[in-house]
Amino acid sequence: MEIVKFMLMIGGMVLVTFIPRVLPLALLGKKELPEKVVLWLSFIPAAVLAALLAPSILLKNGNLYLSLENTALIAFFPTLLVAYKTKNIFYTVSGGLIFYLLISLLF
């Protein structure tokens, strides 16, 4: 990646990751956020992860990819089960990779 573009990107990313991490901790509840804002914020993690997940397994080259040949889509179901049962990143990612490999060998 071109160095100037990279520096701009990293600079921006550092700012927007550092500030939300440090600010609440440093302000230490001196001022509470409005209840509605806290509620809205509390939905962000689930919303953003779902929004990221769906295209990563259901789209291919900008089109819906609903097919038995869509390995990621098939592997999603056993991976979800492992995630639900273990709630553990390591087990889920390793399990997901194994399912993906097995499915791509079988189909």
Partner 1 sequence: MQQSEESITKENKLTAKLNDSSLKDGVKDALPIILGYLPIGIAYGMLAVNKGLTPLQATAMSLFVFAGSAQLVSIEMIAAGAAVAAIVVMTFLVNLRHLLLSASLSLHLRNLPFYYYPFLGFLITDESFAVAMSKIESQKNKQRYFLGLGFTAYLGWVFSSAVGAFLTEFIDLGSGGALDFVLPAMFVVLLVMQISSRTEIIVALFSVFASLFFALTINGSWNIILATVLAAFLGVYIDGNS
Q: For partner 1, which residue of 31, 34, 68, 87 counts as binding (CB under 8 A)?
A: 87
CA nearest to 74, candidates 98, 57, 91: 57
Q: Per CB under 8 A, does 65 bind partner 1? A: no
Pair 58, 65: CB distance under 8 Å: yes
Contact status: 55 vs partner 1 (CB under 8 A): yes
φ, ψ (nearest 5 deg) of residue 64? -60, 140
Sole binder of partner 1 in the list 31, 34, 60, 62 (CB under 8 A)? 62
Q: Does 54 participate in binding partner 1 (rule CB under 8 A)?
A: yes
Give the number of other CB atoms < 10 A from CB of residue 49: 10
Q: Which positions from 9 through 38 interact with partner 1, judged by CB under 8 A?
A: 9-10, 12-18, 20-29, 33, 36, 38
| Residue 84 binds partner 1 (CB under 8 A) | yes
104 Cβ contact partners less than 8 Å away, ≥ 6 residues apart: 71
